[in-house]
Structure 1
Amino acid sequence: MRVIKLDLKNSIGLAATYGSISIVTYGAAITFLDESGTSYEGFMNALVVLMESPAILVSLLLLKIAESRKNLPVYSTRNLGFIPVSSNLIDKEVLRESIFGKSVLLLVGSLLIGWALGESAVPMVKPLFIDLYSSVLILFLLNMGLIAGKRLAEVKKHGVKLLVFGLFTPLLFGSLGVLVGDIVGLSLGGVTLMGVLAGSASYIAAPAALKTSVPEANPSIYLGLSLGVTFPFNLIIGIPAYYEIAKWIQ
């Protein structure tokens, strides 16, 4: 973002959204693997929950560190050398929003409920959460398409560089995710899903946290880019590309 000369607050917004993951893109990847007959590790669903919040916390930590450099630092001789000391890098409100935000809380709650009840609860939730999944996903994607169309015009105002970032970043991060998945020994489906998680961008959890913690960041930039550019790119090109890269590596 420094190369593009984007300001700090909007850069942090993009760091949070592109560091986090997209649960809907992951769901589309699951459908893609099911239709291709490719199996994957069941614990990949738990990684969705684990990878949702850390990027938000890290990006806000980077913001606090960057802002502290602009002010007169408080030095401590207790450390090796002189290192700026900040007593409030991450405030309680940021932690609360990142860990107990609505989407994150639903994901963690669902994970704990599933862990506690096990497979015995599947017949109870199957009619709503499994049988209707594809239909609800289609309606949600149509709604996301309408929102993305409205945001895309705002992204274009900031130049072609942002559009290139929205297209290049998922391929770069997704390829790294595929590589990491292969190194840790995941199956073909698991490696593909790791690429999808690494290459996707959040437009639900991260924007909700940013709205509270970084209100100066323009939602039309980080939400418009993640939802209007990267999200459809991953659905059309990204998921099949990560799958083919995974097959080539393995």
Structure 2
Amino acid sequence: MTYGAAISFLEQIGTSYEGFMNAMVVLMESPAIIISLILLKVMDQKQSDSVAYSSKNIAFSSPATAWIDKDVLKEALFGKSILLLLGALIIGLVAGESALPAVQPLFMDMYNSVLILFLLSMGLTAGERLPEVRKHGIQLFLFGILMPIVGGTIGVLVAGMIGLSLGGMTLMGVLAGSASYIAAPAALRTSVPEANPSVYLGLALGITFPFNLIIGIPLYYQLAQWFILL
């Protein structure tokens, strides 16, 4: 939904972007989940007293698939949200532009209205979980703000280096600086049942999400403009 808000932002200021950026929303979801699970396993190995060799050897001597439960890997690749996005891409590829009149009334004309309802729902969810986030102090709050800036900046720089347009650079920054609210939490619930959902959902929805909507999107756009001027 952060990406959808960024699309609306670019349309309002009359900035075009590459059409294939919509596919990047899908393509960047599963790898991010898999990498996060690998990082979790690396951290677990570092903290284990039974490990007799260095963490560097751990990271390269054990296959990543051995660290991830098959059910978790299946969720990361074929979860409901991922499958829906991939299915939509395939349907769009097969049907082509001729199918636009059939889907436009629901998916295009009503998009802004549905977006408003979704944002209201996310606001209620985030508000319920914010007290849990506050218990962990200022460090968690700063993480929820600084990491989007770091990720978004890297996304803009990489997009500029591969020759994307101003709009494409902005969207890549938005994707790199955003948090997952559906697919990643589902994978976490499966792989890390002891994790507190109030923390990771409260952080994503209560801090990172509104930060990106209010500050992040225009910030990534400004960074993209600066990169073009270099």
Cα distance, 1:111–1:71 mapped onto 2, change above 3 Å: farther
Tell me, yes or no, if structure 1 residue 199 matches structure 2 residue 171: no
Runs of 4 or more consecutive aligned structure 1 residues displaced over 4 Å after TM superposition: 82-87
Tell me, yes or no, if structure 1 residue 37 matches structure 2 residue 4: no
Tell me, yes or no, if structure 1 residue 230 matches structure 2 residue 169: no
CA distance in 2: counterparts of 1:218 and 1:186, whole angstroms: 38
The answer as to whether partners of 1:73 and 1:85 remain within 8 angstroms in 2 is: no
Could you tell me which residue of structure 1 aligns to residue 148 of structure 2? 170
Count of matched residue pairs:
222
The answer as to whether partners of 2:33 and 2:76 remain within 8 angstroms in 1 is: yes
The answer as to whether partners of 2:69 and 2:191 remain within 8 angstroms in 1 is: no
CA distance in 2: counterparts of 1:84 and 1:99, whole angstroms: 21
| Structure holding more helix per residue | 2
The answer as to whether partners of 2:81 and 2:183 remain within 8 angstroms in 1 is: yes
Per-residue CA shift, 1:22-41, capped at 9, x if unaligned?
A: xx000000000011110000
Could you tell me which residue of structure 1 aligns to residue 74 of structure 2? 96
Query: What stretches of structure 2 of length at least 5 have no aligned partner?
Result: none
CA distance in 2: counterparts of 1:190 and 1:42, whole angstroms: 9
Cα distance, 1:41–1:25 mapped onto 2, change above 3 Å: same
* TM-score of the superposed pair, with normalisation by structure 2: 0.91
Could you tell me which residue of structure 1 aligns to residue 41 of structure 2? 64
Q: Percent identity?
A: 66
CA distance in 2: counterparts of 1:85 and 1:209, whole angstroms: 20
Per-residue CA shift, 1:133-191, capped at 9, x if unaligned?
A: 00000000001000011111110000011101111111111111111110000000000
Could you tell me which residue of structure 2 aligns to residue 116 of structure 1? 94
Cα distance, 1:87–1:176 mapped onto 2, change above 3 Å: closer
- What is the identity, as a one-letter code, of the residue corresponding to 2:213? L
CA distance in 2: counterparts of 1:115 and 1:187, whole angstroms: 23
Per-residue CA shift, 1:10-67, capped at 9, x if unaligned?
A: xxxxxxxxxxxxxx00000000001111000000011110000111111112222333
Determine which of 26, 38, 51 is the counterpart of 2:3. 26
Task: Identify the structure with bigger relative contact order (alpha carbons < 8 Å, sequence gap 6+).
Answer: 1
- What is the identity, as a one-letter code, of the residue corresponding to 1:130? M
Cα distance, 1:115–1:222 mapped onto 2, change above 3 Å: same
Query: What stretches of structure 1 of length at least 5 have no aligned partner?
Result: 1-23
Cα distance, 1:84–1:71 mapped onto 2, change above 3 Å: farther
* TM-score of the superposed pair, with normalisation by structure 1: 0.84
Cα distance, 1:84–1:169 mapped onto 2, change above 3 Å: closer
RMSD: 1.9
How much has 1:113 moved relative to structure 2?
A: 0.5
How much has 1:84 moved relative to structure 2?
A: 5.8
How much has 1:73 moved relative to structure 2?
A: 4.7
